[in-house]
């Protein structure tokens, strides 16, 4: 089963387009987690157990672990999902981008070391920088397109000929780059008009949508702009709004409630 198939099965099984970002910050963890020998894994395991029937994917951000020398806890988290919830794909949010043998090593890191189902990548260096990832035909490659941050417009919105750069990138992703049909694109919830344009360009390619919750993206606008003809095609990510729903010992139960409410809100507009 390839990544796209696994993702769509999870969406159908859990009736969910929700992805939960597993981005722990040691300063924000509940005290009982901080006292653990593996605080990030303790935190993540409880969140996963509480939300696994409500999500279509998990997305750990590698920098939250690497900054603290906690890569072993990231690996433990992914192994835990793969062993206990094998139907739920894991997107490693690493935003890698390089060329040649370095890109090959980054692909090995994501898909062989961490055993992720998909990885986020930066396309600024062009198609050859993406090839080592795309060559893993059963894995997903999630390409930055129109990001949710305000500064994304500095380059992504530049007009190149008759259209914006991010739309030219979307066309490449939908055609010459997508030989294995394993590409997804990142388009922020904070840009629903641009999201609609990307959907028009790429057809049924799935879109990973950050920016819901803490960044202020509007759920209804995202669904209206981004759903494909089957009522799928979106992976809507929320991190802080779910994992930090409660700072205390009841954090997992609070995260479940927040995930349930967001999952159901998303579904109300499908």
Taking the C-alpha atoms of residue 74 and residue 61, their distance in angstroms, rounded to an integer, is 9
Please say if 95 is a catalytic residue.
Answer: yes
Q: Which of 6, 59, 95, 168 is labelled catalytic? A: 95
Cβ 267 vs Cβ 15: under 8 Å: yes
132: exposed, middle or buried (Cβ count in 10 Å: 0-12, 13-18, 19+): buried
Phi/psi for 258 (5° steps) reads -65, -40
Report how far apart the first and last C-alpha atoms of the chain are (Å, whole number).
26
Please say whether the beta carbons of 41 and 245 come within 8 A.
no
In DSSP terms, 160 is beta-bridged to 163
C-alpha to C-alpha distance for 129 and 119, rounded to whole angstroms? 14
| Nearest one of 167, 181, 77, 175 to 134, comparing CA atoms | 181
Do 134 and 141 contact (CB within 8 A), yes or no? yes
Known catalytic residues are: 95
């Amino acid at each position: 089963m390839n990544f796209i198939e696994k993702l769509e099965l999870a969406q159908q099984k859990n009736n969910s387009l929700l992805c939960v970002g597993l981005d722990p910050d040691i300063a924000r963890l509940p005290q009982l987690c901080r006292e653990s020998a593996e605080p990030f894994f303790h935190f993540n395991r409880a969140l996963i157990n509480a939300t696994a029937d409500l999500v279509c994917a998990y997305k750990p951000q590698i920098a939250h672990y690497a900054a603290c020398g906690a890569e072993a806890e990231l690996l433990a988290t992914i192994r835990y999902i793969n062993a206990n919830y094998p139907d739920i794909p894991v997107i490693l949010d690493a935003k890698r981008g390089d060329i040649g043998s370095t890109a090959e090593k980054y692909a090995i890191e994501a898909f062989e070391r961490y055993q992720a189902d998909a990885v986020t990548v930066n396309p600024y260096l062009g198609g050859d920088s993406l090839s080592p990832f795309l060559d893993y035909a059963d894995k997903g490659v999630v390409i930055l397109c129109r990001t949710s941050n305000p500064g994304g417009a500095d380059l992504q919105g530049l007009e190149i000929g008759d259209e914006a750069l991010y739309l030219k990138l979307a066309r490449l992703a939908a055609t010459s780059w997508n030989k294995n049909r394993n590409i997804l694109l990142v388009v922020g919830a904070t840009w629903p008009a641009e999201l609609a344009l990307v959907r028009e360009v790429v057809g049924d390619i799935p879109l990973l949508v950050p920016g819901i919750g803490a960044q202020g993206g509007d759920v209804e606008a995202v669904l209206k702009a981004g759903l494909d003809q089957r009522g799928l095609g979106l992976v809507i990510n929320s991190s802080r709004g779910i994992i930090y729903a409660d700072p205390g010992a009841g954090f997992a139960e609070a995260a479940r409630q927040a995930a349930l409410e967001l999952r159901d809100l998303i579904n109300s507009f499908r």
